[in-house]
Structure formats: C-alpha cells, structure tokens
Amino acid sequence: MTRQLPTMSRRATLLLRLAAFLCFAGWAWQHVYWEGPYGGLFWQEGTFELAARLGVDWDAFVGSGADDGWVQRFVAWMAWPYVVCACLALTARRGGRLQFAGLLVGAACLTLLAYAKCVADQGQLPTFVEHGGQILSPVLLVLALTVGPRLRATVAVAVLAVMSVFAGHGVYALGLWPTPPTFHGMTTIILGTEHDATVALLRAVGALDLLACLALLHPSTRRSAALYAAAWGALTALARPVAGMSTSLHHWGADQFLHEAVLRAPHALLPLFLFLHWAPDRAPEKAPRCTEQLSRSPSPAH
C-alpha cells in the first residue's frame, strides 16, 4: 500500500492543478475576448463620489469616444492576472514561492470578481458563496504543493469549497433567494419542460444540493455525496454550452458559451478529488499469500 500513496498523491494534485488551470483559463477568455463582470463596482454613486474626491473628472473616469477612461483600462488590465495565473497553475512546483504568491493573487482576483457579481445582483449573498469553489481552487493547489494533497487541512478546504458551490446553487434552486432566470432558461431549453415542471425540478435539485452539503460531513455518506457533486457539477457546467450553442450562431456560439463550462471545472473536479481521497484503502493481497506459503513450507533438514 505504501507504494500506491505517491501515485494517489500525484493524481490528487493533478486534479487540483486542472481545476485551477481551467478556472483561470475560462475567466481569461472572458476577460480577453469579452469583458470582466465589474460593472456593478463602478456604476454606482459611491464610486463616482470617490473618483470626484480623487480629482478625477467624469470623462477621465468613464472615458470618452476618443480615449479610454479608468474603468476601461482597469477592465482591460484585469485580463492579464488570469492569463498569468493559468500558466502558473500548470507550471507551479513544490517550493516555488513566487508561483504560490501569484496563485494566491489570482485567488484574490477571483474574490474581487465574485464580489463584483454579488454587487451587480443587488448584494445577494449566494452569488458570492457559489463562487467559493473557483476562489479556493488556486488555494487548494498551493496547499497540495506545500503540505500535500492528502493532509487534513487540504481536504478540509476542499470540503468547504464544494459545500459553498452547492449551498449557493441550492438556495437559489429552492427559491430561498430569487431563482436566477438562467436556471429556468437552461432547464427549459435542455429538457423542454413547462414552467411548473421546471420549478418543481429545480426545487428537487436544490434540496438534493443542500442534502449533499450535509452528507459531505458524515463519514458514511461523504463519498457518495462527493460522487453526486462531481457528476452534478459537470452536468451544470456543461449545461451552459448545451443550452446556448447553436449552428445558427457565429462559431456555433462556442466563443460565447464554451468558456462558461471551462471556468466551472472546479465544481466537478474538486468533489472528484474528495471522492478519490475518501476511497477505502486496500492492502495488497499477494504479500499475505506469500507469507502463508512460506509458513507452510517444510523447514530445511539439518
């Protein structure tokens, strides 16, 4: 069994590496090709008042037809941390302190992004909470490369990351917070259900999401809950391109929707990491058999 542990650790680290890389790569595409979701931070009265106190006039802040303002330059600049962090997620190695620092800066950028989306959604807390898996994916990679992927601290952060994703989704699907229209739209387009059936299905899924969060905390149910979370995380991520892409769109809509699945890779890969980590240990069977045969063999004559 001791020979299997390094292999299991390498596989666990690879899952965490892929989760961080795909998350950063998806958001890098969003920032480079489209635009980062920072409108909620800038287009509010408090931000305008702060700019005025700093002596920045309106044209310099929001830009004019000839020049970009602070807002446009900030949004354009924010693409590069995600590009750099996507590269760091692939190249970071044990002992790389500068690489670890870059990945943690990337986690801070993801936190800012989640906060901006929360502000844009009128401060709805589940919007921020459901991004926990993405925010913590680079943190988990750093932990895996410093203290190990199978240590209790790494596993605890992974559990927190998965629970945050499914708790945020669950309260939205249950209607405890207003269910986002995208939930209804994707379900209706993919399954072809009517409104009442869609609502009933979302309520059931939301209840399962919250049950999965609780099941992750109990030793007898945590592995099954992690497998459910991995499967459902992959399906909900793929639902974006499945519902949005069409042959009538330019590039079949891949440039609009494919990265939406890629950046949600932690929703599936982090629970898969937990599922593999909680696999029951199996001692090799050949060693006991060899010992038994040796014990039964006649001793040499003297």
Q: Give whole-number Cα distances, 104 to 82, 110, 142, 203, in Å.
A: 12, 10, 8, 36
Which position has the higher pLDDT, 58 or 173? 173
Q: How confident is the model at residue 284 (pLDDT cuts 50, 70, 90)?
A: very low
Query: What is the rounded average pLDDT of the residues 194-210?
Result: 96
Q: For residue 298, what pLDDT is reported?
A: 53
Distance CA 73, CA 77 (A): 6
Q: For residue 53, what pLDDT is reported?
A: 73
Cβ-contact 273, 12 below 8 angstroms: yes
Is 230's pLDDT higher than 70? yes
Q: Is residue 56 a part of any domain in this protein? A: no
**DSSP β-bridge partners for residue 63:** 68
Cβ-contact 248, 256 below 8 angstroms: no
pLDDT digits (tens, 9 = 90+) for 237-274: 999 999 999 888 888 889 889 999 999 999 999 999 99
Q: Is residue 13 a part of any domain in this protein? A: yes
- The mean pLDDT of the chain is 87
Q: Is residue 133 a part of any domain in this protein? A: yes
**DSSP β-bridge partners for residue 68:** 63
> CA 96, 99, 102: angle at the middle one, nearest 5?
150
Range of the domain at 31: 8-38+78-277
Q: Is residue 293 a part of any domain in this protein? A: no
Q: For residue 59, what pLDDT is reported?
A: 64
Q: How confident is the model at residue 63 (pLDDT cuts 50, 70, 90)?
A: low
Cβ-contact 216, 159 below 8 angstroms: yes
Q: Is residue 289 a part of any domain in this protein? A: no
Q: Is residue 45 a part of any domain in this protein? A: no
Q: Is residue 231 a part of any domain in this protein? A: yes
Q: For residue 247, what pLDDT is reported?
A: 84
Q: Is residue 63 a part of any domain in this protein? A: no
Of 23-37, 49-63, 139-153, minimum mean pLDDT range: 49-63
Per the rule left: phi > 0, alpha: psi between -120 and 50, beta: everything else, 138 is: alpha
pLDDT digits (tens, 9 = 90+) for 95-131: 999 999 999 999 999 999 999 999 989 889 999 999 9
Q: Give whole-number Cα distances, 178 to 129, 133, 165, 206, in Å.
A: 15, 21, 17, 13
Is 23's pLDDT higher than 90? yes
The number of folded domains in the chain is: 1
Q: For residue 97, what pLDDT is reported?
A: 93
Per the rule left: phi > 0, alpha: psi between -120 and 50, beta: everything else, 36 is: beta
Amino acid making up residue 255: D
Query: What is the rounded average pLDDT of the residues 291-302?
Result: 48
